[in-house]
Structure 1
Amino acid sequence: MDAARSGGPAAAADSVLSVVAGAGPVGRPGERATVRLRDSDSDPDPDEPPRYAPEWLQLREPADAAARAQDLLDPLRIRLTNLPGRTGALAVHDLGCGTGSMGRWLAPRLDGAQHWVLHDRDPYLLHFAAAASPRSAADGSRVTVETRRADVARLTPEALGGASLVTASALLDVLTREEVGTLVDACTGAGCPALLTLSVAGRVELTPADPLDAEIAEAFNDHQRRAGLLGPDAVTATCEAFAARGAAVRVHPSPWRLGPEQAALTEQWLRGWVGAAVEQRPALRDRAARYLRARLAACAAGELRVMVHHSDLLALPRPRGGTT
């Protein structure tokens, strides 16, 4: 008899609902994004464990790459081509870079020499991102990188001095309204565009449907909003903040489309999604455990398809000394 069975129904539910630390959309209770947000003014603790497991970030990278909104690249390229006073390489700041997936996706899609500044709180992820960064742009121009252990809460226009572009992926939904304001102030103060991708939209579609889908989704969304985080409200709040500062903003959907070929990602996402819902609403535990078992079985059999809705945002602030 296994441990879950010997412990009774509660232990069985705990077993099926367990989430690998740092994997999926939620890790251990209280964990946050890979960037430091509102800690003390001291440097990040070098002994602090990573917030996200690199294995999770690597697992989701192909789905992220397939989901990001290609339609936002043309207006971005036009802005970058017409940056006032531009000389030398594009300077791209990647906030909360993780393993560097944004750079691997975007750098080969932009022409011209580029210098990427990778920001993250985790030195291991920074090392991984730098080592695995692309070396050439779309036209074969050189791409170089540097790393910075960074604090989004203290980001300033001065820290973005000379920046051509700010990027981030899966970041906005783990910020508070105040932190979004800090980010937007920095971007608009520096006059540089921002491409902020893969923010959760609060909607999930599973095929075949189940009566518990909506309740799990609602509980997960509430979990995303805990402690003042914006969660699925992040894109709206960020658009409003940029617009209030005179920036033009475009938003485009960027959903994950998960089928049998993405079974490993779907399994980890399911565990994290349901686990966060149960953490938010413990009364769901027994029903959620049965639900998750059935969903995992369908996933293993190649019978489950999931669409996880995200949004990508391109903000075009007024350039310093120019117009949008």
Structure 2
Amino acid sequence: MSAEASRTFADWLRLREPADAAARASELLEPVRRRLAGGGRTVIHDFGSGTGSMGRWLAPRLAGPQHWIMYDRDADLLERAAADMVDTAADGAPVTVETRRRDITRLTPADLDGASLVTASALLDMLTADEIERVVAACAGAGCPALLMISVIGRVQLTPADPLDAEIAAAFNDHQRRTVDGRTLLGPDAADACAAAFTRHGVDVDVRSSPWRLGPEQADLIAEWLTGWVDAACEQRPELAGPAAPYARRRRAEAAAGRLRVVVDHHDLLAGAG
């Protein structure tokens, strides 16, 4: 990723971070806390860390000393994640961090030796079926639970409704399933595929809903999300470009005026914490 692309992506991750934090299924934390209780220092491997939002959200919600190992392919994002990580847990215990520039789909159970927990946020939809299978196999082989959050599932609701909503949504979902450099992404099918893979490995999975619920207070996020959503749909189906242009202008105006509300559905998965 170029330096400019990395900065743009980091800005997007920062903009969406509060919505991700509000959406995450916090009821999944209690079984995580029970699993980690009394185990000494907690070692958490965070896959696809980006700017570190998962660590900033989760570390203050867990007690006891923690060591976070953050993985990403982008060195600049990893540097940001480490610099902005919190340094204390819920009970004031220390939180430390290290970064690893690695392809998480190539990790083995040996790479996760000693892990207390694997985490990820907004990652699964960018993986292929084979890559998800390898990630699941690594976690299952290491015997550590996995908390995988904010995976899109292909459902979006805009209020007020517009006749073009469904067509844009369908084209966007097809774009999420596109083939890139020989990799066919799972997109909105990824969460279900991941849950099924854990089940095949004999690991129990708890799936919860974690929707973004965006309104006037998130007008900037709605506008940025909407632009990306429409652009991806038009990239997938170029014939949409004509009607999509006035649609996007109309929707952005509604967001700026505080009249547009958006629900983007996600699923959170907790595997192996039972």
**Matched length:** 270
Residues in 1 aligned to 2:251 and 2:90: alpha-carbon distance in whole angstroms: 41
Select between 65-74 and 48-57 the one with higher mean Cα deviation.
Answer: 48-57
Q: State how 1:10-159 maps to structure 2 within 5 Å.
A: 50=6, 53-81=9-37, 86=39, 88-159=40-111
Residues in 2 aligned to 1:203 and 1:48: alpha-carbon distance in whole angstroms: 31
Alpha-carbon deviation of 1:48?
9.9
Residue by residue over 1:181-218, the C-alpha shift from the partner in whole angstroms, topping out at 9 and shown as x without a partner, is 01000000100000000000100000000011111000
Q: Secondary structure at the match of 1:91?
A: strand
Residue by residue over 1:80-110, the C-alpha shift from the partner in whole angstroms, topping out at 9 and shown as x without a partner, is 226xxx4x31000011101100000000001
Change over 3 Å in CA distance of 1:304–1:49 after alignment to 2: closer
Q: Secondary structure at the match of 1:312?
A: strand
1:174 aligns with 2:130: no
* Aligned-partner residue type, residue 202 of structure 1: G
Alpha-carbon deviation of 1:290?
1.1
| Alignment partner of 1:232 out of 183, 188, 206 | 188
Q: Match of 1:305?
A: 261
Change over 3 Å in CA distance of 1:52–1:243 after alignment to 2: farther
Change over 3 Å in CA distance of 1:48–1:300 after alignment to 2: closer
Residues in 1 aligned to 2:256 and 2:122: alpha-carbon distance in whole angstroms: 27
Change over 3 Å in CA distance of 1:181–1:51 after alignment to 2: farther
Residue by residue over 1:109-142, the C-alpha shift from the partner in whole angstroms, topping out at 9 and shown as x without a partner, is 0111000001111111111111110111111111
Q: Secondary structure at the match of 1:50?
A: helix
* Runs of 4+, deviation exceeding 2 Å: 46-52
Q: Match of 1:204?
A: 156
Q: Secondary structure at the match of 1:139?
A: coil
Sequence identity percentage: 63
Residues in 2 aligned to 1:47 and 1:144: alpha-carbon distance in whole angstroms: 27
* Aligned-partner residue type, residue 188 of structure 1: A
Q: Secondary structure at the match of 1:53?
A: helix
Q: Match of 1:165?
A: 117
Residues in 1 aligned to 2:5 and 2:164: alpha-carbon distance in whole angstroms: 35
Alpha-carbon deviation of 1:49?
5.4
Q: Match of 1:8?
A: none
Select between 153-162 and 167-176 the one with higher mean Cα deviation.
Answer: 153-162
Residues in 2 aligned to 1:153 and 1:303: alpha-carbon distance in whole angstroms: 41
Residue by residue over 1:137-166, the C-alpha shift from the partner in whole angstroms, topping out at 9 and shown as x without a partner, is 111111000010010221111111100000
Residues in 2 aligned to 1:187 and 1:48: alpha-carbon distance in whole angstroms: 34
1:286 aligns with 2:238: no
Alpha-carbon deviation of 1:50?
2.9
1:254 aligns with 2:254: no
Q: Secondary structure at the match of 1:125?
A: helix
Q: Match of 1:243?
A: 199
Q: State how 1:182-197 maps to structure 2 within 5 Å.
A: 182-197=134-149
Q: Match of 1:13?
A: none
Alpha-carbon deviation of 1:168?
0.4
Residues in 2 aligned to 1:90 and 1:174: alpha-carbon distance in whole angstroms: 27
Residues in 2 aligned to 1:51 and 1:133: alpha-carbon distance in whole angstroms: 18
Change over 3 Å in CA distance of 1:268–1:47 after alignment to 2: closer
Q: Secondary structure at the match of 1:135?
A: coil
* Aligned-partner residue type, residue 212 of structure 2: W
* Aligned-partner residue type, residue 314 of structure 1: L
Q: Secondary structure at the match of 1:294?
A: helix
* Aligned-partner residue type, residue 259 of structure 1: G
Q: Secondary structure at the match of 1:74?
A: helix
Residue by residue over 1:213-267, the C-alpha shift from the partner in whole angstroms, topping out at 9 and shown as x without a partner, is 1110000000000111110100110011000001010010111111111011110
Residue by residue over 1:30-75, the C-alpha shift from the partner in whole angstroms, topping out at 9 and shown as x without a partner, is xxxx8xxxxxxxxxxx989539621111000000100000111111
